[in-house]
Structure 1
Amino acid sequence: MTGNATDTILLAVTGWDPDVWVSEFAKAAPKRKLVLNSTDKDKIRYALVWKQRQGSLAGLPNLDVIFSLGAGVDHIFHDQQIPDVPIVRIVSPDLTMRMSEYVVWQVLDHHRLGMRYRQQQGQRVWHEDRRQPAAHEVNVGILGLGVLGRDAAQKLRALGFRVSGWSRRLQTMEGITTYYGKDGLKDFLKDVDIVVCLLPLTPDTKSILSMSMFAQMKQHGPLGAPTLINAGRGGLQNEPDILAALDRGMLSAVTLDVFNREPLPKDSPLWTHPQVTITPHAAASSSPQALVPEIVAQIESFERGEPLKNIVDRAAQY
């Protein structure tokens, strides 16, 4: 490890304005060089990426670390020429809080019949006889108990909801009922009223939000049929199955922040379905002002010989 403050950092992003990242790096690490292309391949020691172009990280002989600029890392693995170096996930208090805010907002909106009241307002209809269950009567299930899922679960528990969580491996949380593995998923689904999906996108989770899952959910809870909120990745959801489940009454409502194609095509029937709430991949946007200092701190600690934090398991792809 021979890093120093003059080593070059590659910013490889698509779909984002790179200027704000460049500006924040100039403030946080003025002695380091940040470039938008890999012309001087042998000088690049670190790569900061978001949906990087295919092959943009290939042929960098001195690359030490790849940093994902978003909470997920599936976008990195779409590139078939990823160098065999550590990949680091972003774990930021700012990002975690933004996601928890989104989850709490949407859970409360469905719990307090927000969609129904907005529809009634549009029709100038006044109904006073709607019973709303108390929070403790409603079980919110979190799919994915990583940093984001655990924080959202704790905040929902503080509001009085019953909260359960599912993960691939066994995890325990005080006050939260946890399940794990394939068998545990079946038990998890039997008792959820609102499902919040915060899973990573991997070969094992692709299209997991599908008819086979919806058929395992209870259909007569305090809110009627269950509600789905997906703020994870678009590839987790089978969108035709979601629409079919809504139309068959297997789901009462859904909130989707992510989609298989983004931006969501204008001809998608999701736009106009009365039981669908759409947000434009805005649940937890990466803030350069919050993330850049943390990345710089990771680089500096790495160069001091300290271990990297939040390294991605390449086999599991998260």
Structure 2
Amino acid sequence: MILVHTPNPKEVAAYLELFRAAMPERQFVDLEHAELSAIRHLVTWGLPDGLLAEMPSLEALFALGAGVDKLLARPDLPADLPVYRLLDGGMAAQMTEYIRYGVLGYQRNMDLYRRQQATGQWRMLAPRLPSDIRVGVLGLGEIGAAVARSLAADGYQVSGWSRSPKDIRAIRCLHGESGLTQLLVDSQVLACVLPSTPDTRGLLNRQRLETLPQGAMLINAGRGDLLDQDALLALLDNGHLRCAQLDVFTEEPLPADHPLWRHPAVAITPHVAAITLRQPSVEQIVRRLRQLAAGQAVDGLVERAQGY
């Protein structure tokens, strides 16, 4: 028996329909119809607190997302339970679009034109080519690598940073502390797609943000706890940073009275840069269920110590 659960009943119903059509030989149920003691596999996002302890037969958990920081922080998550995350689920293309939008807007000075519009100012700014813009991508996993490759194909000068060494064609790949410093120094646009892990929380503090060149742009579509929001506001106010495009925040929803909402150099979106798409997610999880049943190796297994 496989339990499918999210906080939205309509979403659960849609997932159940897809799972049952893709894998009719298995029994997929919602929480209302589940016999918890018989649940062997769990597909979830936003599971109620304490529920995992009521599933003694649980063999594996499949997260309906790429980020698993909140899931790993649950006190009722068994230490030996295999957890699998989505490696894409239709998110790479969306993330690429979101970051491409921000980079192109910076290249074409759209943020500056919006501020000129607010004051009724008509002034043409010098155009720039993609090859004039240096973009740094923080995070070179499945999604970050796809973003970096797409930007390079658009003609931008692209560098990327990861915790461990990577080799991606047409991308200058950096790693480690010295590599991070080099990436920041060189990036006119810094695009962050890192997950939240013990190593990445607070990564973009004031000191590192100040390492970015004068007039740089920050795009954060990774996790909110990577960024010191107060430091970002200070550097936008003093002109060191030109603009920011933010999709994730330390507190979500972002409180209505937060100064980020009203800052003229900040564009805000409500955690929509890359939303899990149902059909490719179902296909990925069904493939993994079949691999497990056949005793084969399964991708997407979360390394608890690394946080992803």
Give the alignment's TM-score, normalised by structure 2. Answer: 0.93
Alignment of 1:19 onto 2:9: no
- Structure 1 residue 298, shift from structure 2 partner: 1.3
Render the CA deviation track for 1:49-90: whole Å, top value 9, x for unaligned: 223233222242221211111111112112112122211110
- Aligned partner of 2:57 in structure 1 is 62
Aligned mate of 2:173, from 178, 181, 202: 178
Rounded to whole Å, the distance in 2 between the matches of 1:200 and 1:168 is 12
- Aligned partner of 2:287 in structure 1 is 297
Alignment of 1:216 onto 2:211: yes
Rounded to whole Å, the distance in 2 between the matches of 1:63 and 1:270 is 43
- Aligned partner of 1:234 in structure 2 is 224
Q: Tell me the number of residue pairs that the alignment of Structure 1 and Structure 2 aligns.
A: 305
- CA, structure 1 residues 50+93, in 2 after alignment: closer, same or farther (shift >3 Å)? closer
- CA, structure 1 residues 14+251, in 2 after alignment: closer, same or farther (shift >3 Å)? farther
Rounded to whole Å, the distance in 2 between the matches of 1:92 and 1:173 is 18
- The residue type paired with residue 132 of structure 1 is P
Rounded to whole Å, the distance in 1 between the matches of 2:46 and 2:178 is 34
Structure 1 residues not aligned, in runs of 5+? 1-7, 220-224
Rounded to whole Å, the distance in 1 between the matches of 2:206 and 2:16 is 44
Aligned mate of 2:136, from 130, 137, 141: 141
Instruction: Report if the CA contact (8 A) 1:12-1:36 is conserved.
Output: yes
Identity among equivalent pairs (%): 37
Instruction: Report if the CA contact (8 A) 2:88-2:142 is conserved.
Output: no
Rounded to whole Å, the distance in 2 between the matches of 1:258 and 1:233 is 6
Rounded to whole Å, the distance in 1 between the matches of 2:280 and 2:225 is 27
Aligned mate of 1:119, from 111, 115, 119: 115
- The residue type paired with residue 276 of structure 1 is V
Aligned mate of 1:273, from 245, 263, 266: 263
Instruction: Report if the CA contact (8 A) 1:25-1:34 is conserved.
Output: no
- Structure 1 residue 40, shift from structure 2 partner: 2.2
- Aligned partner of 2:85 in structure 1 is 89
Rounded to whole Å, the distance in 1 between the matches of 2:55 and 2:83 is 15
Instruction: Report if the CA contact (8 A) 2:89-2:281 is conserved.
Output: no
Aligned mate of 1:10, from 3, 8, 12: 3
Structure 2 residues not aligned, in runs of 5+? none
Rounded to whole Å, the distance in 2 between the matches of 1:12 and 1:135 is 44
Instruction: Report if the CA contact (8 A) 1:72-1:200 is conserved.
Output: yes
Instruction: Report if the CA contact (8 A) 2:88-2:143 is conserved.
Output: no
Instruction: Report if the CA contact (8 A) 1:38-1:44 is conserved.
Output: no
Alignment of 1:258 onto 2:248: yes
Rounded to whole Å, the distance in 2 between the matches of 1:315 and 1:28 is 33
- Aligned partner of 2:298 in structure 1 is 308
- Structure 1 residue 183, shift from structure 2 partner: 2.0
Instruction: Report if the CA contact (8 A) 2:3-2:34 is conserved.
Output: no
Give the SS at the match of 2:287.
helix
- CA, structure 1 residues 286+93, in 2 after alignment: closer, same or farther (shift >3 Å)? closer
Larger helix share, 1 or 2:
2
Give the alignment's TM-score, normalised by structure 1. Answer: 0.90
- CA, structure 1 residues 250+124, in 2 after alignment: closer, same or farther (shift >3 Å)? closer
Instruction: Report if the CA contact (8 A) 2:105-2:111 is conserved.
Output: yes
Render the CA deviation track for 1:124-155: whole Å, top value 9, x for unaligned: 43212x11222112110000000111010010
Rounded to whole Å, the distance in 2 between the matches of 1:194 and 1:144 is 14
